[in-house]
């Protein structure tokens, strides 16, 4: 029965491959969006802006405190994801 089912469903194989590809691309896009919005990335950008003189030390410290608090809240009490 498995062989017969495979032969009958063979014309649909490209559709299942396309569905799988769409799922993989969707998951990768979600990972990319999460990485762009991560507090780690924001901290690195903040350090670069501060080094370039685009932001004052006081403003940078306030923003850094906010980002660190967000980072710690995302990581949880154990420090892991």
d(CA 24, CA 32): 12
The verdict on pTM exceeding 0.75 is no
For residues 74 and 41, the answer to whether their CB atoms sit within 8 Å is no
Alpha-carbon dihedral angle through residues 35, 40, 45, 46, given to the nearest 10 degrees: 150
Please report whether residue 46 resides in a domain: yes
Residue-level pLDDT at 38: 80
For 15-55, write each residue's pLDDT tens digit.
888 999 999 999 999 988 887 778 888 888 889 999 999 98
Angle between helices 57-75 and 39-51 (to 10 degrees): 170
**Total domain count, the chain:** 1
Please report whether residue 58 resides in a domain: yes
Residue-level pLDDT at 26: 94
Please report whether residue 81 resides in a domain: no
Please report whether residue 9 resides in a domain: no
Please report whether residue 5 resides in a domain: no
More confident residue, 76 or 34: 34
Range of the domain at 31: 14-75
């Amino acid at each position: 029965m498995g062989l017969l089912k495979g032969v009958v469903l063979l014309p649909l194989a490209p559709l299942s491959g396309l569905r799988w590809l769409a799922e993989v691309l969707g998951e990768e896009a979600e990972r990319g969006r999460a990485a762009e919005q991560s507090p780690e990335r924001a901290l690195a950008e903040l350090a670069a802006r501060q080094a370039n003189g685009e932001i004052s030390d006081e403003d940078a410290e306030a923003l850094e405190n906010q980002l660190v608090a967000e980072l710690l809240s995302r990581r949880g009490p154990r420090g892991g994801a």
